[in-house]
């Protein structure tokens, strides 16, 4: 049986980069959503000399939703692990 502190540490080690990936992907999707695309569904950035396509927005949004679900699930597991009270041997109910 795994100790609760080890389980909580592993969950937090997984949670932090997963949350960071969600924030980065959601921020990218939001910034792409606010661009002014032309009739060919493209945006040209003069400063970076880059062309962004509007179809990438759907992918960023899909990945953001998947990452959000994973973060929410893992946050629920962390809360459940914190609230879990292990039974002490010799204790009767």
Are the beta carbons of 18 and 43 closer than 8 angstroms?
A: no
pLDDT, tens digit (0-9, with 9 covering 90-100), for 20-60: 999 999 999 998 888 888 888 888 777 777 787 878 889 99
Are the beta carbons of 71 and 15 closer than 8 angstroms?
A: yes
Question: Is residue 7 predicted with pLDDT exceeding 70?
Answer: yes
Q: What pLDDT, on the 0 to 100 scale, is given for residue 4?
A: 82
Q: What pLDDT, on the 0 to 100 scale, is given for residue 54?
A: 79
Phi, psi (5° rounding) for residue 85?
-110, 110
Question: Is residue 62 predicted with pLDDT exceeding 60?
Answer: yes
pLDDT, tens digit (0-9, with 9 covering 90-100), for 71-87: 999 999 999 988 877 67
Q: What pLDDT, on the 0 to 100 scale, is given for residue 46?
A: 72
Domain boundaries in the chain?
A: 4-83
Q: What is the pTM of this model?
A: 0.76
């Amino acid at each position: 049986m795994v100790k609760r502190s080890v389980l909580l540490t592993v969950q937090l080690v997984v949670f932090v980069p997963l949350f960071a990936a969600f924030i980065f992907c959601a921020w990218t999707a939001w910034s792409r959503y606010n661009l002014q695309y032309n009739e060919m569904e493209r945006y040209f950035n003069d400063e970076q000399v880059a062309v962004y396509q509007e179809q990438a927005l759907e992918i960023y949004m899909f990945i953001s939703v998947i990452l959000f679900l994973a973060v929410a699930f893992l946050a629920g597991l962390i809360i459940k692990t914190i609230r879990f009270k292990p039974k002490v041997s010799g204790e009767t109910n």
